[in-house]
Amino acid sequence: MKSTRTWVGMTVLALPLIAGTIDLNDLFDYQGQEAPTYITQDNTPANNHISNAGATLGRVLFYDKKLSINNTVACASCHQQEFAFSDPSIQSKGFDGGVTGRHSMRLVNGRYSEESAFFWDERASVLEFQTVMPIQDHIEMGFSGTNGQPSIDSLINKLNATDYYPKLVEEAFWGTELSEDRIAYALAQFVRSIQSFDSKFDEGLAQAGNINANFSNFTAQENQGKNLFIAPPPAGAGCQGCHRAPAFDIDPDAQNNGVITVAGDTGTDLTNTKSPSLRDVVNPDGDPNGPFMHDGSLTTLEEVIEHYNLIVFDANENPNLDQRLRGPTNTGQNLNLSDDQKAALVAFLKTLTGEAIYTAAQWSDPFDAQGNLSVLPLGRVDIAGSMEVQAFPNPCSDQLTLNLPAGNYAVSFRAVDGRLIRSMQQNGGQQVFWVNGLPAGLFLIDVLDQNTGQHKVIKVFKH
């Protein structure tokens, strides 16, 4: 969250309220976001940590309709913030009015999921591979390179020719040009940044310290629902067997859950074994962020509970039904839930909803109503005059050498958003700095000549 600033007797909330502007001097703090201590999974790969500039680039890509061949569809068209980054339509419309074969998934806490693969059928092994697939999908965004459609190279040329991408790329990576990898990495950083841990459940767990204890902030009905969610049948509903707390996505070994129809078509689809996290299945008003399941066939949580209450197992029709849902006699699960128990389960699921995710500015549309965006460059201007400072090697990895003329200097290392990382006093000459403790990416070295007041700012890239 942004800080409050005081300007001559007036307190101003420094939110980037000017629609359509990104100020590189004042980026959102994506890299400093934290998860609660009871969240132990994190699928961030070593080579793609979230940086403020990287996630900002990802945010712009996510909302940019230029990512479709006729500039009509963005990721955000099918993943809308007000619906926890899902789409209320069963099937989403692509750039040419064609519809997706499955329902769009909520994008909540993807970074912290137990299942590290993406899509209902888990066909993308990591998020970095997933993010460019919609762009290259012939229905969704259309840069497939087949059947007369342009390839992703023409998208890259289109984006590099804009006014804003070179400036954003320069802060997130080295150089000013986008590439397929950079699009994938930046989008993955943004998607991983979308997190929701301000729910009633989180408050209760933080207080109780243990999922099995009664939560003092829960109603009796919500605690009853929690117990039913956790306990395996016949005592409980066994949801925890697959959608394990506190991430609530899915056991990576789960098979399908008996929902096997195809959206908008006949036939069956037995391949759907992933669920997005059950966090934010409803919005803060309790309205479903559905429809639910890969085929969008269930509209309410009550219908979801009815589905699990009675599942018929027919090995000919659905040989891939998960073992846990086959019941003690292998004829299917019959939970025999009472109306009270069903209502309690629904009440519990509603405690998994947060608030910030629906409105927080760092995940919102950065473009103005006309689809324009301007990027304000870094304000730390180089007023070096004739100060001769060299930094090498650049890019660097472990060590960086600064060559300073004779004199006294204050040298500060800053992140691209201006945050101070380290500062020190230096005399002239060659100075070697260990930089292996810094995160990969761009940083700035600000050299202040303490005799003349002149600054020299050098951008350095670290691998």
User: 96 near 142, Cβ under 8 Å?
Assistant: yes
Q: How far is residue 281's CA from residue 275's CA, in Å, rounded to a whole number?
A: 11
User: Could you tell me the smallest distance in angstroms from the CB atom of residue 81 to ligand HEC?
Assistant: 13
Nearer to ligand HEC, 51 or 100 (CB): 100
User: Could you tell me the smallest distance in angstroms from the CB atom of residue 39 to ligand HEC?
Assistant: 16
Q: State the number of CA atoms in the 13 A half-sphere of 95 facing the CB.
A: 24
The closest alpha carbon to 249, from 240, 261, 257, belongs to: 240
Q: How far is residue 429's CA from residue 432's CA, in Å, rounded to a whole number?
A: 10
User: Could you tell me the smallest distance in angstroms from the CB atom of residue 229 to ligand HEC?
Assistant: 6
- Residues 71, 75, 78, 81, CA torsion sign: negative
User: Could you tell me the smallest distance in angstroms from the CB atom of residue 412 to ligand HEC?
Assistant: 36
Q: How far is residue 126's CA from residue 359's CA, in Å, rounded to a whole number?
A: 27
The closest alpha carbon to 195, from 85, 38, 52, belongs to: 85
Nearer to ligand HEC, 187 or 460 (CB): 187
Nearer to ligand HEC, 100 or 318 (CB): 100
Q: How far is residue 87's CA from residue 104's CA, in Å, rounded to a whole number?
A: 6
Nearer to ligand HEC, 327 or 428 (CB): 327
Other beta carbons within 10 Å of 163:
10
User: Could you tell me the smallest distance in angstroms from the CB atom of residue 86 to ligand HEC?
Assistant: 7
Nearer to ligand HEC, 246 or 396 (CB): 246
Residues at the interface with ligand HEC (CB under 6 A): 62, 67, 73, 75, 77-79, 92, 94, 100, 102-107, 110, 118-121, 130-131, 134-135, 140-141, 187, 191, 237-239, 241-243, 250, 254, 256-257, 259, 272-276, 278, 281, 292-294, 304, 308, 322, 324-325, 345
CA distances (Å), origin 68, targets 44, 65, 150, 163 = 27, 6, 10, 18
Nearer to ligand HEC, 75 or 159 (CB): 75
User: Could you tell me the smallest distance in angstroms from the CB atom of residue 391 to ligand HEC?
Assistant: 35
Nearer to ligand HEC, 242 or 389 (CB): 242
Q: Which residue has the tokens 């608030």?
A: 355
User: Could you tell me the smallest distance in angstroms from the CB atom of residue 9 to ligand HEC?
Assistant: 44
